[in-house]
Chains A and B, each alone.
Chain A
């Protein structure tokens, strides 16, 4: 899902149940990762050009992405997800 704000933030829950938050916009070309991106384990794949990022570190894992994705600390408290800026 995507949380709007000064910077749109994408929040992901992986198959293993872990929650991650990153910048929502792919660093290669403007597209929402939270709306349309696909989770593969701890990696998010952009649906436009197949750029791939590590959700834990934000690292760009393959071309065409070169620039890391901003990641945010997440806290889950009583079923609510807090993104710490």
Chain B
């Protein structure tokens, strides 16, 4: 019995842990393309920018106790799903009794040739390390994309004393997920903390000095922004290139059934950002959230061990920006905004409901207890009116 897990980040390592929690005693091989021992991803756009260091997912002793064969610094390059063999970048071939695909996502880059020096994405510990060092020289920073990654980086850069400009293609950041009202409220933090936010404009090109280092970002409307450090946070796509010849069903991610088994393959599973699956409440979903990676790990491990799977949970994600903790639960995008209370500086609460008035999502700032109440309402499919009346009785009519 050998479980091969491709991808040694949150979903991959947590699957190994969950297998051991299920008393699986066979071999586990964990393949990771980076040389670092498995580390946590959320700190890369938070604490790791400030100290340059990754946060290990497990301490050395616990990792040892887990009893996995770590294959670090190698990539999986191909899968023969008929023979049950994974080929690695060093030429090794691994046979498996079960395979777990946990390769995550690859950040989107700007169109065009390879970017000049000084242009970064935030995906790996090395990315965070490089940005930490670059910020010590207080460069003029341009952040392309004002989503969560861009916003968290902007905060870190402001803390490091850098002048910061964010460029966002939408008229209001996050509006496609949260609507313009809430997206605008969250985005107001940038100006409040001294970062400039330019919206409704895209990047035309990057310019570099003679030494090959970026020195400007030119926008589609002709404006030219001086830049010594550029961070690109414009989303990501599933890392499935290595599966191109495998025959596996791949569209936006690897297509899985409700047990996270790849459709048509009894012993191949997918977990985390790379997995598209039919969520029992929300239908087909591919979620790039940290909690989703943890939950998938538990479900996949139960499947491999032949045990009952833990119940699927509503999506949940958090972001730390300018000293505020923003929590999003459920899928606001599946409903419309029905109530807001407070401000981003004072416990903002936004409730989203579907056309039947049932709560489907919420955005909550600095109030985990309220977030849990919204989460409970989502799980119970409660009417938004009841939730609002319970949370903010003084405001209820």
Contacts and interface: CB of A to CB of B under 8 A. Distances in A.
A48 B28 CA distance: 29
A49 B291 contact: yes
Interface in A44-66: 45, 47-50, 61-64, 66
A62 to B, nearest CB: 5
A36 B368 contact: yes
Interface in B12-48: 14, 17-18, 21
Nearest to B57: A64
B313 interface: yes
B316 A50 contact: yes
A50 B290 CA distance: 11
A38 B291 CA distance: 16
A62 B14 contact: no
Contact of A62 (B62, B290, B295, B318): B295
Contacts of A36: 368-369, 372
B344 to A, nearest CB: 19
B200 interface: no
6 contacts: A36-B372, A47-B369, A47-B371, A48-B368, A50-B313, A62-B295
A75 interface: no
Interface string B334-367: 0000000000000000000000000000000000
A40 B291 CA distance: 18
Nearest to B316: A50
A35 interface: yes
B310 interface: yes
A36 to B, nearest CB: 4
A47 B56 CA distance: 22
Contact of B294 (A35, A38, A63): A63
Chain A, interface size category, equals 10 to 19
A50 B375 CA distance: 11
A50 B18 CA distance: 15
Contacts of B233: none
Nearest to A51: B294
List the 10 shortest-distance A-B pairs measured between CB atoms, nearest first. Answer: A47-B368, A38-B372, A63-B294, A36-B368, A36-B369, A47-B372, A63-B14, A50-B291, A64-B294, A62-B298
A63 B375 contact: no
Contacts of A45: 372
Interface in A28-42: 31, 35-38, 40
Given A47-B371, A63-B14, A63-B298, A38 B376 contact: yes
A40 B380 CA distance: 11
B186 interface: no
A64 to B, nearest CB: 5
A41 B62 CA distance: 31
A67 to B, nearest CB: 10
Contacts of B372: 36-38, 45, 47
B388 interface: no
Contacts of B298: 62-63
